[in-house]
Each structure stands twice: as C-alpha cells, then as structure tokens.
Amino acid sequence: MCDKIESPFILIHALRDKQSLTMTDIVEIKRNIERENPSVYVDVSKSSILETISFYPEIFSWENNHIKRKETADNYFQDDVIGCFGSIDIDKSLESKIIQCIEN
C-alpha cells in the first residue's frame, strides 16, 4: 500500500518557518520524504502546487518562481490550526516522520 501526500500538506509545513520556497526546494523535500519512507508518494507536481496556491490565495502566492507565504497568513501557521490544515489520513507516527523530513 502506498500513502499519498498532497501538496497542501507539504506547503503548509514547509513554509511554517520560511517566507518562500522554490520548486527545487519542494522537489528536495519530496525526495527526502520518499527516500526515508518508501511507502509514501508525494504529489508536488507543478500543476498540484499551482492548484494549491490558487485554492488558498489567502495563504500562498507565486512570485518570481517562488512559492511565498503571505504576510497576512500567520494565523494558518499556528499549532492549533496547522494540525488541521491539509491533514492526511495516515498513521500519526508516519505523519510525524514526514513532518520531520519536511522540517529538516
């Protein structure tokens, strides 16, 4: 069985302590997660990323080939909210491992 991680989950966690990321950064995160967790597939295709940005314009923007965290989006990155955002239906221990891969 393969667990699929969607781009909203990746972006909300990856931008928690950063202001912006490049697609290269996102692909590195994908590779790190999939290397450490072989049963996980991370969907960070360009279309998936752009769809996430379009779906959450109050949180993310695309500027000069960077995915940016909007300055007005701080409330979405707080502990009590981030756990609900883009949540995935996987085992909590695997979710913790994935979040560690994103943050490292």
Domain ranges of the chain: 3-103
Averaged pLDDT, groups of 10, the chain, 104 residues long: 88 93 96 94 93 94 94 83 67 88 86
Q: Is the pTM of this model over 0.85?
A: yes
21 residue type, one letter: L
User: What pLDDT shows up at residue 86?
Assistant: 53
What is the number of other CB atoms lying within 10 angstroms of the CB of residue 62? 13
Contact criterion met (CB below 8 Å) for 8 and 82:
no
79 residue type, one letter: D
| 3-state secondary structure at position 39 | coil
User: What pLDDT shows up at residue 95?
Assistant: 87
User: What pLDDT shows up at residue 87?
Assistant: 55
